[in-house]
Chains A and B, each alone.
Chain A
Amino acid sequence: MNPTPPRTLDVDDLLDNPGTRIVVCCGSGGVGKTTTAAALALRAAERGRHTVVITVDPARRLAQSLGLTELDNTPRPVPGVADSNGGSLHAMMLDMKRTFDETVEAHADPQRAEQILNNPFYQSLSSSFAGTQEYMAMEKLGQLRRSDEWDLIVVDTPPSRSALDFLDAPKRLGRFLDGRLVRFLGTPARGGAFRLLGAGFGLVTGVITKILGTQLLKDVQSFIGAFDAVFGGFQERAEQTYRILQTEGTAFLVVAAPELDALREASYFVARLSAEQMPLAGLVLNRVQQVHADLSAEQGSAAAELLEATGEHPLAAAALRLHAGRVRQRNREQRLRNRFAADHPDVAIAEVPAYPEDVHDLDALRAIGRALAGVSTVP
């Protein structure tokens, strides 16, 4: 069976379209989301758009070349970006705790804000709860979008195990903050509402006190008391941002390595986006094995064996072994890609080669941008 070649993603079409206002790069951890987000943003900027990229966890040297020397949660201009087409590039690194703090400050009166910020439970929630990072990435995206200062916002997503976390975590946090336990922990202890809760309540507070201690319980209660007033605003904002993600101006790109796990994760995400009516622009297959010679793996191995038997021409023998390994790897990757394409015939795909070195400077990002746009490049 000869599979039909997958649809090719036209990245330039997407980036040049003034209707494209947000590009979200999703995918499981380590596949190249941050790199792809930076490369897309740079390409868009150099093609003439006023662009900002929100990165979450850039590699140190990549952060340096983006001019991100400090984590100050504000977009900063990226040095060395060509502005001949009238565009610009700003970049920022997400500081989740700070974003959370600023959001609290924006919603609460100063006294209450201080009460919240000093609460130990809040402090651990805002710095370590699984999901806060995703929630805050959404919050920051919403802020930048509402400011309307940018033609295009490119968002990198947190390094979670699953691409779906980006969509689910904010809701999970919201559900907790809005949940039953929190509601009644927040109720004043002698209130009439307690009696209605019946016997279950004693058991529940008993268990919590036993396992977690009274101090934590007190912290949670005072946190909820103070947070309640600002929380409505919070929830509403998260929902607004969520709705932005469903509009025409937003495009999701799913980034995956050409590996089974990453592509499986990408498949889940594609299905989920369509269920949520969120617009998917395509799949970026990152770090694809490059093969430069047209010689099959079998031919390569056979010739290498022949040479090894004679003991002569070790360089050619090694080159042929190397080539055979690369061809096998590429074939495996193509099989996985074709399977994905057969399962998702509507999803366009862009491939980015695996470069021998890590990607840290603007030139390397430009090379990735060209690969994304299908302009062939030599690394």
Chain B
Amino acid sequence: MTLTSTITPGGGRARPQPAVHRLRGVSSRDRDWDGVRLHVVTGKGGTGKTTVAAALALALAAEGGKVLLVEVEERHGIAPLFGLDSLSYAEREIAAADNGGTVYALAVDAEAALLEYLEMFYGLRRVGGALRRFGVIDFATTIAPGARDILLTGKVTEAVRRRTPQSARHDGPGPYVYDAVVLDAPPTGRITRFLNVTAEVSGLARVGPVRDHAARVIDVIRSPETVVHFVTLLEEMPVQECVEGIAEARDAGLHVGGILVNMVRPALLEDSVLAAASQGVVDVAALTRGLQAASLPDPSRLAQELSKEIVEHARHMRVAAEARSRLAAAGRPCYDVPFLDDGVDLDGLRRLARELRDQGAV
């Protein structure tokens, strides 16, 4: 009996929607999204959804379990991050995490999902050729409203629900195959429609397997074990989209997770220095003395030039600070994902994963 209720690794309480972000450093293993099994990662295009989703998967796997990272946009973005050529429509192990954890990955494409669905529910095998010839595949996967979304979410939620067969001695369902699933989801502009299968399905078949299929998808998506995280940069348009996206997702009854602030650069200057510099005021004399002490040539001219860079940086940081306060008003926990100077690779992802864990995200 108890096996069917929300059991999480480590027996943590289900606390999918904390009201406020825990203070950093209070306890690095007090995990904000304990109990969540499907992490949907959205954000404006190009803000780092794929990168952050991959880091999140590594961070979750570092609890020692199995985590599935899924992409649905046919972008083939995951494979290169992990130094692989490509992923196919088959789950495969792509990286080991700390504590014996494993990250698996899957690139879902709508056509394969459709064929799998037809075979599973209608026993239709090898119909792909005929359907393709008549343009039905194209029609169902790109044009028919909502059909593509339900095929993709159907596959993702199936992986969330999947259980290992239980040995004969035990009753009830076996344990979940994946401790968590991370979805590199469509961008903010489409995420609510993508997840809002109910509304879309009403335009599709209202009876039969599709209906049941949709109902199972909805169960998973609406469950408190599913949250939608938003990736943003500290820039105006991404923040605007993020804030609007959160409101829209909430209105649609989805559980909003955290805000993942990506590409954060370290603060090099004190707040008071930044505040003055953003108004164009830099202590050039002090700067000159410092450059002189470092024996740099032509210190007074160099100080003038560097102060221009300081002012630009400070103005940029002011924009970033304004962005932060707009995000704070959204009332969701925020996590910083640092900017990786040397580009993103597996080592970089591991660093981002550690940062997420240090901040108590997972």
**Chain A: residues with CB nearer than 8 A to chain B?**
28-30, 59-61, 120-121, 124-125, 128-130, 159, 161, 176, 179-182, 184, 200-201, 203-204, 207-208, 210-213, 215-216, 260, 290-295, 299, 303-304, 306-307, 310, 312-323, 325-326, 328, 356-358, 379
The 8 Å CB contact of A213, one of B75, B204, B306, B313, is: B204
Taking A292-B305, A316-B289, A320-B294 as given, write out 18 further A-B residue pairs in contact, using a Cβ cutoff of 8 Å, ordered by the A residue number.
Answer: A30-B44, A30-B45, A30-B237, A120-B203, A176-B135, A176-B138, A176-B142, A181-B138, A200-B130, A208-B136, A208-B139, A208-B140, A211-B210, A292-B309, A293-B302, A316-B290, A316-B303, A319-B310
Structural contact, B309 and A307, CB atoms closer than 8 A: no
- Report B348 CB to chain A, min CB distance, Å: 14
CA distance A321 to B147 in the complex (A): 52
Structural contact, B235 and A358, CB atoms closer than 8 A: yes
The B296-336 residues at the A interface (CB cut-off 8 A) are 296, 302-303, 305-310, 312-313, 315-316, 319
CA distance A30 to B241 in the complex (A): 12
The 8 Å CB contact of A356, one of B46, B265, B293, B316, is: B316
CA distance A310 to B131 in the complex (A): 74
The 8 Å CB contact of A357, one of B127, B144, B313, B315, is: B315
Structural contact, B306 and A216, CB atoms closer than 8 A: no
- Report A63 CB to chain B, min CB distance, Å: 12
Structural contact, B45 and A322, CB atoms closer than 8 A: no
Structural contact, A176 and B294, CB atoms closer than 8 A: no
Pull 23 A–B residue pairs with CB atoms less than 8 Å apart, ordered by A. Answer: A30-B237, A125-B145, A129-B143, A176-B142, A200-B133, A203-B130, A203-B131, A211-B204, A212-B204, A213-B205, A213-B210, A216-B145, A293-B306, A295-B296, A314-B270, A315-B273, A316-B303, A318-B268, A322-B268, A322-B313, A325-B265, A325-B341, A356-B319
**Taking the complex as formed, is B95 at the interface, i.e. its CB lies under 8 A from any CB of chain A?**
no
Chain B residues whose C-beta falls within 8 Å of the C-beta of A204 in the assembled complex:
130-131, 134, 136
Chain B residues whose C-beta falls within 8 Å of the C-beta of A210 in the assembled complex:
122, 205, 208-210
**Taking the complex as formed, is B271 at the interface, i.e. its CB lies under 8 A from any CB of chain A?**
no
Structural contact, B147 and A212, CB atoms closer than 8 A: yes
Chain A residues whose C-beta falls within 8 Å of the C-beta of B289 in the assembled complex:
313, 316
**Taking the complex as formed, is B219 at the interface, i.e. its CB lies under 8 A from any CB of chain A?**
no
Chain A residues whose C-beta falls within 8 Å of the C-beta of B294 in the assembled complex:
303-304, 306-307, 313, 316, 320
Structural contact, A303 and B287, CB atoms closer than 8 A: no
Q: With contacts A213-B206, A303-B294 known, is A356 near B140, CB below 8 A?
A: no
Structural contact, A293 and B305, CB atoms closer than 8 A: yes
Q: With contacts A120-B203, A210-B208 known, is A315 near B268, CB below 8 A?
A: no
Structural contact, B135 and A180, CB atoms closer than 8 A: yes
CA distance A356 to B312 in the complex (A): 6
**Chain B: residues with CB nearer than 8 A to chain A?**
44-46, 73, 75, 114, 117-118, 122, 124, 127, 130-131, 133-136, 138-140, 142-145, 147, 193, 203-206, 208-210, 235-237, 240, 265, 268-270, 273, 283, 286-287, 289-291, 293-296, 302-303, 305-310, 312-313, 315-316, 319, 341, 343
Chain B residues whose C-beta falls within 8 Å of the C-beta of A184 in the assembled complex:
134
- Report A216 CB to chain B, min CB distance, Å: 6
Structural contact, A30 and B46, CB atoms closer than 8 A: yes
CA distance A291 to B312 in the complex (A): 10
Structural contact, A317 and B290, CB atoms closer than 8 A: yes
Chain A residues whose C-beta falls within 8 Å of the C-beta of B265 in the assembled complex:
325
Chain B residues whose C-beta falls within 8 Å of the C-beta of A379 in the assembled complex:
312
CA distance A299 to B322 in the complex (A): 33
Chain A residues whose C-beta falls within 8 Å of the C-beta of B205 in the assembled complex:
210-213
CA distance A328 to B343 in the complex (A): 12
CA distance A215 to B206 in the complex (A): 10
CA distance A185 to B266 in the complex (A): 59
How many residue pairs bridge A and B at CB < 8 Å? Answer: 178
Closest chain A residue to B307 by CB distance?
A: A319
CA distance A120 to B204 in the complex (A): 12
Structural contact, A292 and B306, CB atoms closer than 8 A: yes
Chain B residues whose C-beta falls within 8 Å of the C-beta of A303 in the assembled complex:
291, 294-296
Q: With contacts A30-B44, A210-B210 known, is A319 near B309, CB below 8 A?
A: yes
CA distance A291 to B289 in the complex (A): 21
CA distance A61 to B124 in the complex (A): 53
Closest chain A residue to B296 by CB distance?
A: A303
Chain B residues whose C-beta falls within 8 Å of the C-beta of A125 in the assembled complex:
143, 145
Q: With contacts A211-B147, A307-B290 known, is A358 near B319, CB below 8 A?
A: yes
Closest chain A residue to B139 by CB distance?
A: A181
CA distance A129 to B138 in the complex (A): 12
Closest chain A residue to B237 by CB distance?
A: A59
Structural contact, B283 and A315, CB atoms closer than 8 A: yes
CA distance A176 to B137 in the complex (A): 12
Q: With contacts A124-B145, A319-B287, A358-B319 known, is A212 near B130, CB below 8 A?
A: no
- Report B207 CB to chain A, min CB distance, Å: 8
Closest chain B residue to A59 by CB distance?
A: B237
Chain A residues whose C-beta falls within 8 Å of the C-beta of B147 in the assembled complex:
211-212
Closest chain B residue to A30 by CB distance?
A: B46
Chain B residues whose C-beta falls within 8 Å of the C-beta of A29 in the assembled complex:
45-46
Closest chain A residue to B114 by CB distance?
A: A211
- Report B97 CB to chain A, min CB distance, Å: 26
- Report A161 CB to chain B, min CB distance, Å: 7
- Report B35 CB to chain A, min CB distance, Å: 34
